[in-house]
């Protein structure tokens, strides 16, 4: 046993050195994203109403058909489309083995800075693809879905220059959309709204790996959980701003993702309070519940229900600053928005297959010791963002014997891993259920995932409501 541990330690060090070296060479060959100056003929630093936003998205899709695809996931209460723009070198179809990621802006209608930055992000991507190596790599290896506005009705009644308050925050029926999702800790009795129902349907159909939700009213990257079993609306008023944290099993990953955004931001990581009466955040990040607990938040829903790592990005102290400040906000956030998306390429990724090479859809996976699981796509794909270390992957699928596979993750180099499951029949009537293997049927058509192919033989071959709303109206 001791000999195995010594050998394993040496093996991990050697593997880390080799892969880190290759990663450093890749980083050296891939320069940082370049600064972007918009062409005012197509997009200037001004606020765009829904008609202007729609025209820009349609024109961009027509101008760059090989890099963009425009679709609507539904309509707001007042009939405005909830537009999503895909930006990728394969915009109209999922790229096998390559992750889908997303940004959602303007979930609170009176917080439109993110709405405008996402339009500029789209413009930056399409105009830089042929000249910026980092952008080209990102779009060639990632499918990026950008929803500039989840609450166009709220935005329509918001007022430029209003740094605080709630006018336009809610949808047309007066619901806070970021309190309208199912909640992990408490039953959420608020009636579902068309905008949130559309988002829930959207993320049930696309297996997003990473997500950012852009807000305003503070300057911080806030990560799950937003809620806690012991949260109380009265606590928001009768205690200090700092409540108890509510940590996920992936707390290390969420802190890392939040730091990636904060440290690449021009100001966020300094942790400066927006106002003297508001909290400052160490390194510009916070656990959501430690800031203030809320029920029905979108980031917790993404994570618990679908395994998508979502972080809430509060990017402006003023909720609706004057338009002349938008250029400054773009300069502050440009690098952060790009680097954050690239984190989808960290951790482990691969396929779950049967012995014939056919993908197993909706297989359940879990990193041992981390209780929030995730599933495979219809192509048998999976992804999980993880920091460097040694892990065990538990894989389950109906009709197959479960498996546990060891693997390691190194810095900035995804571990590529295939897992083959054996068809079996569960044998009941014993203290510990066991699985009897079934004969493998002969099939003429074998599925083969896009190269590279991976090995699954283990670690040695796997390198690579009321008061709460009042508080929210003030801070985001």
313, 345, 377 — which closes off a domain?
345
Q: So what's the pLDDT on residue 472?
A: 56
Residue 22 belongs to some domain of the structure: no
The DSSP output letter for 337 is: H
Full domain range(s) for residue 129: 31-345
Q: So what's the pLDDT on residue 29?
A: 58
Q: What is the number of alpha carbons within 13 Å of residue 214 lying toward its C-beta?
A: 33
Q: So what's the pLDDT on residue 286?
A: 97
Q: Are 84 and 72 in contact (CB under 8 A)?
A: yes
Backbone dihedral angles phi then psi of residue 141, each to the nearest 5 degrees: -115, 5
Q: So what's the pLDDT on residue 141?
A: 96
Q: Could you tell me if 71 and 194 lie in one domain?
A: yes
Peptide bond into 299 cis (omega under 30): no
324, 345, 366 — which closes off a domain?
345
Q: Could you tell me if 367 and 444 lie in one domain?
A: yes
- What number is the average pLDDT over the span 359-382? 96
Q: So what's the pLDDT on residue 450?
A: 34
Residue 92 belongs to some domain of the structure: yes
- What number is the average pLDDT over the span 122-129? 96
* Rounded percentage of the chain residues whose pLDDT exceeds 90: 74
H-helix segments, 366-430? none
Q: Could you tell me if 335 and 262 lie in one domain?
A: yes
- 11-25, 32-46, 368-382, 406-420: the lowest-pLDDT one: 11-25
Q: Could you tell me if 268 and 187 lie in one domain?
A: yes
Measure Cα distances from 287 to 255, 277, 343 in Å. 8, 19, 19
Nearest to 314 by CA among 242, 225, 216: 216
Q: Strand, helix or coil at 418?
A: strand
13 Cβ contact list (under 8 Å, min separation 6): none
Backbone dihedral angles phi then psi of residue 390, each to the nearest 5 degrees: -105, 130
Higher pLDDT, 110 or 411: 110
Backbone dihedral angles phi then psi of residue 46, each to the nearest 5 degrees: -140, 165
What tens digit of pLDDT does each residue of 269-289 get?
999 899 888 888 999 999 999
- What number is the average pLDDT over the span 135-163? 97
Active site includes 343?
Answer: no
What tens digit of pLDDT does each residue of 195-210 get?
999 999 999 999 999 9
Nearest to 109 by CA among 67, 159, 155, 41: 155
Q: So what's the pLDDT on residue 429?
A: 60
- What number is the average pLDDT over the span 416-428? 87
302 Cβ contact list (under 8 Å, min separation 6): 203, 208, 211, 308, 309, 310
Q: Could you tell me if 225 and 261 lie in one domain?
A: yes
C-alpha–C-alpha distance, residues 376 and 67, integer Å: 26
Residue 317 belongs to some domain of the structure: yes
- What number is the average pLDDT over the span 221-236? 77
Nearest to 388 by CA among 12, 5, 10: 12
Q: What CATH number does the domain containing 183 carry?
A: 3.40.630.10
Q: Would you say residue 173 has pLDDT above 50?
A: yes
- What number is the average pLDDT over the span 177-206? 97
Q: Would you say residue 85 has pLDDT above 90?
A: yes
Residue 475 belongs to some domain of the structure: no
Q: Would you say residue 443 has pLDDT above 60?
A: no
C-alpha–C-alpha distance, residues 101 and 142, integer Å: 7
Q: Are 218 and 314 in contact (CB under 8 A)?
A: yes
What tens digit of pLDDT does each residue of 293-317 get?
999 999 999 999 999 999 999 999 9
Q: Would you say residue 171 has pLDDT above 90?
A: yes
Q: Could you tell me if 338 and 427 lie in one domain?
A: no
Q: Strand, helix or coil at 283?
A: helix
* Residue entry with tokens 């197959």: 400
* Residue entry with tokens 């936003």: 53
Q: What is the number of alpha carbons within 13 Å of residue 313 lying toward its C-beta?
A: 36
Q: Would you say residue 389 has pLDDT above 60?
A: yes
- What number is the average pLDDT over the span 52-70? 97
- What number is the average pLDDT over the span 230-235? 54
Higher pLDDT, 398 or 435: 398
Q: Would you say residue 43 has pLDDT above 50?
A: yes
Give the other-Cβ count within 10 Å of 68's Cβ: 22
Q: What angle do CA 127, 215, 293 make, to 5 degrees?
A: 150
Residue 17 belongs to some domain of the structure: no
345, 376, 409 — which closes off a domain?
345
Residue 12 belongs to some domain of the structure: no
Number of domains in the chain: 2
| Token pair listed for 294 | 């809320």
Q: So what's the pLDDT on residue 161?
A: 96
Q: Could you tell me if 377 and 336 lie in one domain?
A: no
Highest average pLDDT, of 6-10, 241-245, 335-339, comes from 335-339
Q: Would you say residue 221 has pLDDT above 90?
A: yes
Of the residues 111, 314, 343, 381, only one is catalytic, namely 314
Q: Are 146 and 121 in contact (CB under 8 A)?
A: yes
Q: Could you tell me if 336 and 361 lie in one domain?
A: no
Q: Could you tell me if 215 and 111 lie in one domain?
A: yes
Question: For the range 468-473, what are the long-range contacts, defined as Cβ-Cβ under 8 Å and sequence gap of 24 or more?
Answer: 468/179, 468/233, 468/236, 468/292, 468/293, 468/294, 468/295, 469/166, 469/176, 469/179, 471/236, 471/237, 471/292, 472/169, 472/176, 472/292, 472/294, 473/164, 473/165, 473/166, 473/169
Mean pLDDT of the chain: 85
Residue 6 belongs to some domain of the structure: no
C-alpha–C-alpha distance, residues 255 and 249, integer Å: 12
H-helix segments, 30-150? 50-63, 113-128, 133-141
Q: Could you tell me if 381 and 329 lie in one domain?
A: no
Q: Would you say residue 473 has pLDDT above 60?
A: no
Q: What CATH number does the domain containing 359 carry?
A: 2.60.40.1120
Q: So what's the pLDDT on residue 474?
A: 53
Q: So what's the pLDDT on residue 236?
A: 45
Q: Would you say residue 28 has pLDDT above 80?
A: no
Q: Would you say residue 31 has pLDDT above 60?
A: yes
Q: For residue 55, what pLDDT band results from cuts at 50, 70 and 90? A: very high
Higher pLDDT, 330 or 19: 330
Q: Could you tell me if 337 and 396 lie in one domain?
A: no
- DSSP-derived pairing of the beta strands 403-409 and 415-420: unpaired
Residue 394 belongs to some domain of the structure: yes
Q: Are 387 and 408 in contact (CB under 8 A)?
A: no
198 Cβ contact list (under 8 Å, min separation 6): 73, 74, 75, 82
Nearest to 280 by CA among 289, 293, 267, 270: 270
Q: For residue 38, what pLDDT band results from cuts at 50, 70 and 90? A: confident
pTM of the model: 0.85
Q: Could you tell me if 353 and 337 lie in one domain?
A: no
């Amino acid at each position: 046993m001791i000999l195995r541990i010594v050998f394993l330690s040496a093996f991990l060090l050697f593997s880390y050195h080799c892969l880190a070296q290759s990663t450093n060479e890749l980083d050296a060959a891939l320069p940082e994203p370049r600064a972007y100056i918009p062409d005012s003929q197509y997009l200037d630093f001004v606020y765009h109403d829904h008609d202007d936003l729609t025209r820009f998205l349609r024109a961009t899709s027509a101008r760059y058909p090989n890099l963009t695809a425009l679709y609507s996931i539904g309509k707001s209460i007042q009939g405005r489309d909830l537009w999503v723009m895909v930006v990728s070198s394969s915009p109209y179809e999922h790229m096998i083995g390559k992750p889908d990621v997303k940004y959602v802006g303007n979930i609170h209608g009176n917080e439109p800075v993110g709405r405008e930055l996402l339009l500029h992000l789209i413009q930056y991507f399409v105009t830089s693809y042929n000249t910026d190596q980092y952008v080209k790599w990102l779009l060639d290896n990632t499918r990026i879905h950008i929803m500039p506005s989840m609450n166009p009705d709220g935005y329509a009644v918001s007022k430029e220059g209003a740094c605080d308050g709630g006018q336009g925050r809610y949808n047309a029926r007066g619901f806070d959309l970021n309190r309208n999702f199912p909640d992990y800790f408490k039953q959420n009795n608020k009636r579902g709204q068309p905008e949130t129902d559309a988002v829930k349907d959207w993320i049930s159909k696309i297996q997003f790996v990473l997500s950012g939700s852009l807000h305003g009213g503070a300057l911080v990257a806030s990560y799950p959980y937003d809620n806690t079993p012991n949260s109380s609306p009265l606590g928001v008023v009768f205690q200090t701003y700092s409540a108890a944290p509510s940590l996920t099993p992936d707390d290390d990953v969420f802190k890392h993702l939040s730091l990636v955004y904060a440290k690449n931001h021009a100001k966020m990581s300094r942790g400066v309070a927006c106002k003297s009466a508001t909290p400052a955040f160490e390194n510009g990040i916070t656990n959501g519940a430690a800031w203030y607990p809320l029920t029905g938040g979108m980031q917790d829903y993404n994570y618990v229900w679908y395994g998508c790592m979502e972080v809430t990005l509060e990017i402006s102290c003023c909720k609706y600053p004057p338009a002349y400040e938008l250029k400054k906000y773009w300069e502050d956030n440009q690098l952060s928005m790009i680097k954050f998306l690239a984190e989808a390429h960290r951790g482990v990724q691969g396929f779950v297959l049967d012995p014939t090479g056919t993908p197993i859809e909706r297989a359940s996976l879990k990193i041992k010791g981390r209780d929030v699981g995730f599933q495979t796509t219809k192509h048998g794909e999976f992804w999980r963002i993880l920091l460097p270390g040694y892990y065990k992957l538990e894989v389950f699928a109906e009709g197959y014997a479960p498996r546990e596979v060891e693997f390691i993750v190194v810095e900035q180099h995804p571990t590529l891993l295939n897992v083959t499951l054996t068809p079996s029949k569960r044998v009941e009537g014993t203290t510990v259920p066991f699985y009897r293997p079934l004969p493998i049927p002969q099939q003429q058509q074998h599925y083969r995932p896009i190269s590279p192919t991976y090995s699954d033989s283990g670690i040695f071959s796997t390198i690579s409501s009321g008061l709460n709303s009042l508080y929210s109206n003030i801070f985001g």
